[in-house]
Structure formats: C-alpha cells, structure tokens
Amino acid sequence: MAMQRRELMLAAVAALPWAAQAQTQAWPTKPIRLIVPFPPGGTTDVVTRLVAAELTKALGQSVVVDNKPGAGTVLGVDLAAKSPPDGHTLVTVANSFCVNQTLVKNLPYDGLRDLRPVGLMGMSEHVLATHPGSGLKTVADLIAAAKKQPGKLSYASFGAGTSAHIAGAMLEAQAGIEMIHVPYKGQAPALNDLIGGQVTVMFGNWPEFRQHVQSGKLVALGMATAKRSPLAPQIATLTEQGLPIESNSWNGILTRSGTPDAVVHRLNAEINKALQAPTVVQAFQEGGIVSLAGNPERFAAFIRSETDKYAQVIRKAGITAES
C-alpha cells in the first residue's frame, strides 16, 4: 500500500509540468480585457496600447484596452482586483498604485495581496521646470527665492498624492523650504498653467516637457534622476545640485492574484517581446520613454520598494488625498 501511494505521488509530480503546459496552451480562450485606470491619451495609455497591439498578434486573441479612470485610479484597479483569476482581465498601473496603498483610506482592495505583478513596461523620467518669467535658472535660485518669500512660491502636480506631488514634498523637505501645492486633474492642465506662469515650478514627465524646454517656453532646473539622463545629458541632475531626489512615472501590468503561474509567465514573456518590437522601440525612442523589461519577480520587488518609499514620504510630509 505504501509503495502504491509513493508511485501515485511520483506520477502526480511528474504530471505537473504537463498540466501547466496544457493550461498555458488553453489560454487565452477569449478576448483579454486590459483596464487602463487613466483617461485616454496620456503616456500610460499610449504605452499600454502599443503593447496591447503586439500582444494581440502574439496571443491569437484581441487584447482590448478599456479606459476606466476615476477615484485616483482606484476604480479601474478595483475592477481587476475583483475579476476571475484566469488571466483574461489585466490592469495597467503606475506610481499611483503604490501611493494609494498609504494615501487612500478604506482602499477596496489590498494591492500587495489581491493583484499579481506580470511585467513592467516603460518609464518617463521627471524634470523640475519653471517658466522664464520666474527668473529662476538653477535649483539654488529656487531655494533662495523660496526662503526669501516663504509660502509664496508654488508647485503644480498631476493631483494630490501623485508622483509629482510627492516629488515636490521631497523638494521642500530636503531644501528646507515651504511652497504652495497646487493640484490639477492631470499633467496637461498643470503644464499649461506652468507655461503661462500661474505656478512657479513643477515636476513632470520629460517626454511632454522636452519640446517646451527646447523652445524656451520652460526652463529646466534639474532632472530627477540618479545620473544624467541619456535623453537630456545637458541638464544637471538634482543630485548634482545637492538634492538627491529621484522621481519618474512608470507603468506595468498586473492581473488578479491566483492566476496560474504558467499564464503569468507566458504573459510576461510576451510583454517583454512586445517591448522589443520595432514599432514599440521607435515609439519609445521618439517619446523619450525608457523600456523596463523584466520578470514578474523583479516587478513584485519593485512594487514593494516603491510602496515603502512613498509611504515614508506621505507620512513624514502629512500628505492626504485632499492636500
């Protein structure tokens, strides 16, 4: 009897790879819904659509992008968190996914428990910029002006709790200055007011700021990168100017926790292939987007690190969803 049990166990173990392979071959069995919790047209939406087009070719099923903005991305992410764990519903997330873990009270899902990382896609580096009318040329100029007029200068953001807001809070803390935070509903209106001189400075995505810096409509005070960006090597980093601030806007794809390993790893492999497709590579180069191909484990570690980083800044600065 013991020998029979042992033989049955060995047979079961031997069958696992075949079962996983069969599961992968059977997936996908229907169109895949890829939720984007942002309005159409932004960098995250553009990157998602580029990758979705390549996934459609590779998987033999349509990957349908479904924009579901609302509640600071909570609405769209929650839909994915409550979907069946079969790999047919995915969601694109960005920095806000990690921020919301600390910022949003009574979050309807647990981002680290209910959703599973599949793969990173791209990242846009942040630049700290001002308008020519401010008279500021360097970070030192900004700090001196802010100390001379405490609480008078302002910084814009994409909204309360966004990466641009948190980067501004880090700037205040590290420089020992106080500015007025002006949240907007997205980067576009904030950028328009920065160019128009309604706000003093702003952290924003280099791809969208690049043309305005090059045309002279904006003045770049520094890149929020660890070292000089190959996309803007002429601009000094904030670290070089005494403020070790790193800020960017990244995006990646998650699925519901419980989705089979074989499906997650197949998806990850296809996302990485998509990032190497000529049309995607060209679009990233033209748009100033950095590819972040990697495995699910790397993405999971990145999410944990980002969540911890933002939690520390949010708590120290007393940032709330309304601030």
**Top-level CATH class of 33-123+248-317?**
alpha beta
Q: Using alpha carbons, select from 123, 97, 37 the residue that is nearest to residue 306.
A: 97
pLDDT, position 319: 87
CB 218 within 8 A of CB 212: yes
**Strand intervals (E) in the chain:** 32-36, 63-67, 89-94, 115-130, 154-157, 180-183, 201-205, 219-223, 248-256, 290-291
pLDDT, position 295: 97
Where are the domain boundaries for CATH 3.40.190.150 in the chain?
33-123+248-317
Mapped onto helix, strand or coil, the DSSP state of residue 201 is: strand
Q: φ, ψ for residue 96 (rounded to 5)?
A: -60, -30
Give the C-alpha separation, 271 to 88, whole Å: 15
Q: Where are the alpha helices (DSSP H) in 135-186?
A: 139-148, 163-175
pLDDT digits (tens), the chain, 323 positions:
555 555 555 545 554 444 445 445 689 999 999 999 988 888 899 999 999 999 999 999 999 999 999 888 999 999 999 999 999 999 999 999 999 999 999 999 999 999 999 999 999 999 999 999 999 999 999 999 999 999 899 999 988 888 999 999 999 999 999 999 999 988 889 999 999 999 999 999 998 899 999 999 999 999 999 999 999 999 999 999 999 999 999 999 999 999 999 999 999 999 999 999 999 999 999 888 999 999 999 999 999 999 999 999 999 888 887 76
User: Which CATH entry fits the domain spanning 125-223: 3.40.50.720, 1.10.10.60, 3.40.190.10, 3.40.30.10?
Assistant: 3.40.190.10
Where are the domain boundaries for CATH 3.40.190.10 in the chain?
125-223
pLDDT, position 158: 87
The pTM assigned to this predicted structure is 0.84
